[in-house]
A and B are shown apart, each in its own frame.
Chain A
């Protein structure tokens, strides 16, 4: 437990801060098996994505417990978007959860993993092929626009299906008389001001369209805005019921955080140091004197971070629990949980990132060390920025180094990780990192928690470098077993 007060002067002086990644016990144990790590890396090549499917169970439980606590029914949706691993989807299919897919290909992916169509929900922009498959398989369609609703109805008619098309309607444009939001544009959903016409349309197409409820998806980490969206969605759900429609529940999407940094204190100190570097009080901590979103404006830091909060106050199920426990002000004094439960509605969540916590790491071999034009130490990896989505998802945590030998060189001034693309710069991380020792050529390093949108979200065969293979790890009786991701069996047989 944190002591009530603490003198943090040490954190404000001139020494850079290490930002260690939060690492599960299982991953730590795996990385201690140096021979195995090297065998895999040598066998499959660098980079290599290593999947830990067992870790998904705890993440699912984190959400299930919240449903139990609030006596709620509904469905937690596994999302295939953050990681293409077959093993993860295969493992996820064993639990009492659904699968949220976002393309025709990801629909096939989860079907192959063992999800039956009644457990699948289809989101994302949809073309004719994608909608047709969903209609034929009776997959729940989360409609993103009025035009899409019309297309669904049209294709449903052409298929001549006797059963109704099951649809949800994704909302946007939330507002509250109590809170003014500075508008932010977005591409998802149908504006709530257009919903009265949608009601009429749904009502007049009741024979073909089975309206299951409203959904939204906000990545915004601000809980206040999410609460307004939940309130608006519930108000519209009630309005729908009064109109004679029969929505079954509400879908509050995802956007639940995970903790990337080992320690919230270190993360706070790291960011403080970063900001200090932006205004030139200490040496730059970002490649090419960047600020990762922060800028120097006459000695003052302005702008916002282009990276995630690595140590949020609430993560995963705790965040859901918090949201459900808040009062739904438009509904008197009841909490969201009681309104949803008491109205016999179901609650659907789509925690993409949060179900992938500690489910994957990315291994790479160190190819070379060199100095940059400005004299910074560069550690070159046998991977590139497409393998870790580093242009967008800026995970600042240092990787774990798995040294090949005991020979160590003390790391005094920090270093940058670069990739193998023949470009002016191919940054794997834009921030400088400070592990105790410098990795050597041939050493393995492991980026932690990459199954959440990092390892394969943007992978490509850029400059004809290969994309990474995936292996899935199972730990039985203290021993690690591995196999190719596509060959993973979710149970011992």
Chain B
């Protein structure tokens, strides 16, 4: 298949029918529209293209810059399209809470303006809303800034009606239930309008995060009212999903269905299952439900690392650190700061390792000690004693707590390890006292 431009690949994504073994639904076929297969990785490729395509030549000819309020996928899609066309793009958003999205933007050479959150010492004159800031900047530079404004632009839902909704109808015909996370609500609205043309009884169920929970690109119910595209009447109901639920959903889609989608799709999936389960039991005829896998798994790695670190844990070794119980009696391998010189004499074959951060080590350190910051040190000693049998090892940390733990662990592996009691702090006090004396 030969294409002229990457933008030619936007849309026409396939739909996967999920196995009943996975969904557990007897009378409802659950489909997932694989929007993460769009060329730049999300459903927002359509949003960006739908808003820009008619004006692209004009923007280029006038030498305008594109500014948009987006913290994630829309910014990414706009950035690629802008870069491909030699147009300057500036992302203005609240703080990016997904590291990978920001990294991708950086790789693409983005200009990013992140805006700090609301102030809790109120200043009514402070209007720090990205939307407002872009509008103000655009007004101050007439003809220079093109602001697609995904939260208010009617082209956003219109393009989804014309393409995303149309494709679903083309593939599935009549749809009874449609689930989607709400961001700008543009895609949900466009798709819903098209699905209802085909089946006026179609129910759209919106998925939103539970209070103080977060899914990238999805906004809370109360934030909906800040989207100019939000049409409350188009939704049958709203489901809140927790981060745990969304991650469970995502992992099931990733692992059991091979759908390498992100956590927002997981939220729609888990929302769909919980909503449909009850309906399914009382149905006498087959129904059709669909949800959107809006973006790729890769943008969600740091999200999972933060919330499900166990997924990324290394396999445990037999004598691994994580299994070590700190049960050695304190004292038998403790070394007081004033005994350090003696210890060195008695242990001619020895090494002093300081496990503090490199910058801290640089500020103050014990002569002839070696710095190996804790993260490296842990990896180095995990499951094995890297020291020769007769070598004595003295561990140093700030206050002698962490070093005591690791000295104990090394002892359990047969190493002649010692701990400097009270750490570098006590040693420093000792030196200062000695200097004064």
Contacts and interface: CB of A to CB of B under 8 A. Distances in A.
Interface of A: 2-9, 11-12, 71, 179-182, 184, 219-222, 224-225, 238, 241, 255, 257, 264-265, 267-269, 271-272, 274-276, 278-279, 281, 293, 298-309, 311-313, 331-334, 338-339, 341-344, 392-394
B225 A272 contact: yes
Interface string B237-280: 11111101100100000000000000000000011001100000
B39 interface: no
Contacts of A341: 398-399
Contact of B128 (A6, A8, A299, A304): A304
Contacts of B358: 331-332
Contact of A338 (B212, B221, B374, B424): B374
Given A272-B221, A304-B118, A305-B118, A8 B274 contact: no
Given A2-B242, A6-B239, A265-B211, A343 B119 contact: no
Given A12-B232, A220-B119, A5 B242 contact: yes
B399 A71 contact: yes
Interface string B89-122: 0000001000000000000000011111111111
Contact of A301 (B225, B363, B398): B225
Interface in B110-144: 112-122, 124, 126-129, 131-133
A425 to B, nearest CB: 17
B392 interface: no
A272 B222 contact: yes
Nearest to B233: A281
A7 B237 contact: yes
A4 B119 contact: no
A395 to B, nearest CB: 12
A420 B374 CA distance: 62
A343 B221 contact: no
Given A7-B238, A71-B399, A182 B113 contact: yes
A276 B238 contact: no
Nearest to A394: B122
Nearest to A238: B359
Query: Interface SS of chain B: helix, strand, loop or mixed?
Result: mixed
A244 to B, nearest CB: 12
B320 interface: no
Contacts of B375: 333-334
B398 A342 contact: yes
Contacts of A392: 122
Contact of A180 (B112, B222, B373): B112
A302 B237 contact: no
A221 B128 CA distance: 14
Interface of B: 95, 112-122, 124, 126-129, 131-133, 151-152, 208, 210-212, 220-222, 224-228, 232, 236-242, 244-245, 248, 270-271, 274-275, 356-361, 363-364, 373-375, 397-399, 401-402, 424-425, 428
A344 B428 contact: yes
Given A222-B95, A300-B227, A303-B129, A7 B212 contact: no
Nearest to A266: B211
25 contacts: A3-B242, A4-B274, A5-B270, A6-B210, A8-B239, A9-B238, A12-B221, A180-B113, A182-B116, A184-B119, A184-B126, A219-B119, A220-B120, A221-B120, A238-B363, A265-B210, A268-B221, A275-B226, A279-B225, A300-B226, A302-B131, A304-B118, A308-B120, A332-B357, A338-B360
6 smallest A-B Cβ distances: which pairs?
Answer: A4-B245, A342-B356, A342-B360, A222-B117, A272-B222, A275-B225
Given A220-B119, A339-B360, A343-B359, A5 B129 contact: no
A261 to B, nearest CB: 10
B119 A311 contact: no
B116 A181 contact: yes
Given A4-B270, A8-B208, A344-B360, 20 more contacts: A8-B221, A8-B240, A9-B236, A9-B237, A9-B238, A182-B115, A182-B116, A184-B116, A219-B121, A222-B116, A255-B120, A269-B221, A303-B127, A304-B118, A304-B126, A334-B374, A342-B360, A343-B357, A343-B363, A343-B398
Nearest to A313: B212
Nearest to B359: A331
Interface hub of B122, B131, B238 (most chain A Cβ within 10 A): B122
Nearest to A4: B245
A269 B210 CA distance: 11
